[in-house]
Amino acid sequence: METLHIEVDARGVARLTMNRPEVFNAFNETMIAELAQAMDRLVADPHVRLIVLAGAGKAFSAGADIQWMKRASEASQDWNLADARKFADMLQRIAHAPKPVLARIQGLALGGGVGLAAACDIAVASSEAKFAVSEARFGILPAVIGPYVNNAVGPRQAKRLALTASRIGAAEALSLGLVHEVVEADQLDAALERWIHELLQNGPGAQGEIKQLFAQLEVGPVTPEVRELTAQTIARVRLGDEAREGFSAFLAKRPAAWVPAVEAGTSKEGQ
């Protein structure tokens, strides 16, 4: 791919790296299309257990490429609508992938880069990382990323970040819930490995079911419809092969079949 690098190790850990370091991994039409294609490919690969989204070089992602935004400002409304729909579709593929998706964040995460982080299930950042929902500085708004930022930090904080467009540090991002862990830069990969190890202990089918169910749940009253949805879901999943294996492994005091036999491996595929 032109803008991405993909590696999959022997455990089924896919590393999807945005590879435009010369522009701090700002994304354009090509990167958006390739991210969508890569997510489809990794989701369809039965060997892949989880996906790490990262950025090459000094930054995670500086958001939208300014040249792309300039082209958009000069294009028709129909072109802009089709373009925005592609961006929205790409974020949806990340957020609703039936496999865990982790963000590895260093340096800058600006605008759409914050949206990428918020769309991931788990985000780990280095202590020097900086975040900004920066669209208002350019006279636009964080529309497509808005729902993901809103879900990550809550509506009041999301609105504050969008209205001010101010940069916040990693510690504040952690306190808001935008990221889940902050570590020193030289500990970032070790921290990711801890999260990866925890995730690989669990049933991949169960993780897919968790993401599908939780996407349907909202904060608020537990209605009869919600109770029925949860009852139907667990009743179906308990009868599956993965559940039988999980209970059998626990009773036999052995690792379940889905736990990798290797702690690390070599790349299965490259750029």
Tokens representing residue 254 in the block: 């052995």
Q: Is 181 strand, coil or helix? A: strand
CATH code, domain with 36: 3.90.226.10
Where does the chain have alpha helices with state H? 29-44, 66-74, 77-95, 112-119, 146-153, 155-164, 170-176, 188-200, 204-214, 224-238, 241-252
189/206 same-domain check: no
pLDDT reported for residue 71: 84
Domain check: are 242 and 189 in the same one? no
Q: What is the pLDDT of residue 220?
A: 86
Q: Do the bridges between strand 168-169 and strand 122-126 make them parallel or antiparallel, or are there none, so unpaired?
A: unpaired
Tell me, yes or no, if 74 is annotated catalytic: no
Answer yes or no: do 234 and 134 share one domain.
no
Q: How many domains does the chain have?
A: 2
Contact assessment for residue 6 and residue 269, using Cβ atoms and an 8 Å cutoff: yes
269 falls within a domain? no
What range defines the domain where residue 140 resides? 4-199
Does one domain contain both 94 and 222? Answer: no
pLDDT in tens, the chain (271 residues): 999 999 999 999 999 999 999 999 999 999 999 999 999 999 999 999 999 999 999 999 999 898 888 888 888 989 899 999 999 999 999 999 999 999 999 999 999 999 999 999 999 999 999 999 999 998 999 999 999 999 999 999 999 999 999 999 999 999 999 999 999 999 999 999 999 999 999 999 999 999 999 999 988 899 999 999 999 999 999 999 999 999 999 999 999 999 998 753 434 444 4
CA distance 19 to 5: 6
Indicate if 138 and 224 belong to the same structural domain: no
> Residues 115, 119, 124, 129: what is their CA dihedral angle, to the nearest 10 degrees?
0
Residues 6+ apart with CB under 8 A from 33: 86, 90
Note the pLDDT of residue 204. 97
Q: How many CB atoms lie within 10 A of CB 87?
A: 21
Q: How far is CA 222 from CA 145, 227, 236, in A?
A: 27, 7, 20
- Asked if 135 and 162 touch (Cβ cutoff 8 Å), the reply is yes
**Is residue 140 included in any domain, yes or no?**
yes
Task: Determine, yes or no, domain membership for 270.
Answer: no
Residue 68's pLDDT is: 85
Looking at residue 264, what is its pLDDT? 38
Catalytic residue among 22, 29, 74, 135: 135
Same domain? 53 vs 176: yes
pLDDT of the residue at 271? 41
Q: Are 119 and 179 in contact (CB under 8 A)?
A: no
